[in-house]
């Protein structure tokens, strides 16, 4: 007889409206110790979980048993309304867990209190590498607690904080932590309320941090001043590979600052500037940078009000540039003349 871990059983039955222990359609996934929660399996699995003991595994051929936290490497609890109380129990398990590497808690209404519980766990956990707590109403207190944990934690490599309530002040907490942390490689802050001041804090991180490789700041409130700060950081940074700034308000002047950075930066491989109203003038600055930059491989300039002149600037730059592999250029204001230019280089996708 296999006995289900009592704490985990209680968490699943009480705090997940879906309530399922995963049924996995492909048995090979069991060898990866990955568990996914499927709403459709709710009634069947909850019935099983109400038993203190689960017997013959052959009766449930596709049921993955959890014998305790140490048996699990990946746990996906996406959109389950766990809340801060449920997170407390999960956080307590993380304090003693030594194998869980990936935890997805997106859209679970954990709030600041839940973030605090997770932060305390991160201070002692040494196995978790990827944590997704996007869309969870995390604001100042939660961000501050997580930042303190990042100063201590040495295992986390990817942190997803997208679609929360993180503004400039919260960005400062995270920035201060990243000046100390040397393990985090990817930070996702998509769709928050980070403005120019927050961008300044994060730009200062780029000047001293040598571990961060991906920074996602898309869909925030960053303008030309914020772009200026980030450009200054990029001039010094030698580790960042991907920078995502789509759907901000960078404009042509912001593009100018970033272009100046591209002339000296040798690490950035992907830059997303889509949806920033860069226009022909802004593209001209970027085109000049592309003539000397040798590291950038992908540049996204979609939805930027760029016309035929801008298209011409880019094509001329690509006659010189040999490192760029993809230039995304869709949804701009290109006429027949501009399309003629764009067709001259297959690297341009429009």
pLDDT of residue 15: 39
* 266, part of any domain: yes
Confidence bin at 344 (pLDDT 50/70/90): confident
CA–CA dist 181, 212 (Å, integer): 9
Residue predicted with more confidence, 101 or 36: 101
Q: How many CB atoms lie within 10 A of CB 68?
A: 16
Residue predicted with more confidence, 228 or 56: 228
The pair of structure tokens assigned to 231 is 């450009």
* 252, part of any domain: yes
Total domain count, the chain: 1
Query: What would the mean pLDDT of 146-153 be, rounded to a whole number?
Result: 98
Domain that holds residue 98: 2-295
CA–CA dist 203, 234 (Å, integer): 8
Whether residue 6 is predicted with pLDDT greater than 70 in this model: the reply is no
* 133, part of any domain: yes
Alpha-carbon torsion 5, 6, 9, 11, what sign? negative
Say how far residue 77 (Cα) sits from the centre of its chain: 17
Which SS3 state, helix, strand or coil, does residue 295 take?
coil
Confidence bin at 70 (pLDDT 50/70/90): very low
Whether residue 35 is predicted with pLDDT greater than 90 in this model: the reply is no
Whether residue 328 is predicted with pLDDT greater than 80 in this model: the reply is yes
* 342, part of any domain: no
Query: What would the mean pLDDT of 56-75 be, rounded to a whole number?
Result: 44
Percent helix, strand and coil across the chain, each rounded to 5?
45, 10, 45
* 271, part of any domain: yes
* Percent of the chain's residues with pLDDT above 70: 79
pLDDT of residue 71: 56
CATH number of the structural domain spanning residue 48:
3.80.10.10
Asked if residues 261 and 286 have their Cβ atoms less than 8 Å apart, the reply is no
Strand ranges (DSSP E) for the chain? 2-3, 34-36, 53-54, 74-76, 102-104, 130-132, 158-160, 186-188, 214-216, 242-244, 270-272, 298-300, 326-328, 348-349
241 CB-contact burial (10 Å; exposed 0-12 / middle 13-18 / buried 19+): middle
Query: What would the mean pLDDT of 103-117 be, rounded to a whole number?
Result: 94
Residue predicted with more confidence, 293 or 71: 293
Whether residue 173 is predicted with pLDDT greater than 70 in this model: the reply is yes
The pair of structure tokens assigned to 311 is 């298209």
CA–CA dist 139, 56 (Å, integer): 46
Give the pTM. Answer: 0.83
Task: Give me the chain's average pLDDT, please.
Answer: 84
The pair of structure tokens assigned to 338 is 């501009």
Supply the DSSP symbol for 5. Answer: P
Which SS3 state, helix, strand or coil, does residue 278 take?
coil
């Amino acid at each position: 007889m296999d006995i289900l871990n009592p704490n985990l059983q209680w968490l699943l039955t009480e705090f997940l409206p879906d309530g399922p222990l995963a049924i996995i359609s492909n048995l090979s996934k069991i060898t990866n110790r990955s568990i996914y929660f499927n709403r459709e399996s709710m009634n069947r699995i909850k019935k099983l979980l109400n038993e203190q003991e689960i017997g013959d595994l052959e009766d449930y051929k596709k049921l993955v048993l959890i014998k305790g936290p140490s048996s699990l490497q990946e746990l996906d609890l996406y959109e389950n309304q766990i809340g801060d109380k449920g997170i407390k129990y999960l956080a307590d398990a993380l304090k003693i867990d030594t194998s869980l590497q990936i935890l997805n808690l997106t859209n679970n209404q954990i709030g600041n209190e839940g973030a605090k519980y997770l932060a305390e766990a991160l201070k002692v956990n040494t196995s978790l590498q990827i944590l997704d707590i996007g869309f969870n109403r995390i604001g100042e207190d939660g961000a501050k607690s997580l930042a303190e944990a990042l100063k201590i934690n040495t295992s986390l490599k990817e942190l997803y904080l997208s679609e929360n309530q993180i503004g400039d002040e919260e960005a400062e907490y995270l920035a201060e932590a990243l000046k100390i942390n040397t393990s985090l490689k990817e930070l996702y802050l998509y769709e928050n309320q980070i403005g120019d001041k927050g961008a300044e804090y994060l730009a200062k991180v780029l000047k001293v941090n040598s571990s961060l490789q991906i920074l996602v700041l898309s869909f925030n409130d960053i303008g030309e001043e914020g772009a200026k700060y980030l450009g200054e950081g990029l001039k010094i940074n030698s580790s960042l590979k991907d920078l995502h700034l789509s759907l901000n308000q960078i404009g042509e002047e912001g593009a100018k600052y970033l272009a100046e950075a591209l002339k000296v930066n040798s690490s950035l491989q992907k830059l997303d500037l889509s949806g920033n109203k860069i226009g022909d003038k802004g593209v001209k600055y970027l085109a000049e940078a592309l003539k000397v930059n040798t590291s950038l491989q992908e540049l996204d300039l979609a939805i930027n009000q760029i016309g035929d002149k801008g298209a011409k600037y880019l094509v001329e730059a690509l006659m010189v540039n040999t490192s760029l592999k993809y230039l995304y250029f869709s949804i701009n204001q290109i006429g027949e003349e501009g399309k003629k230019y764009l067709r001259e280089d297959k690297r341009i996708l429009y």
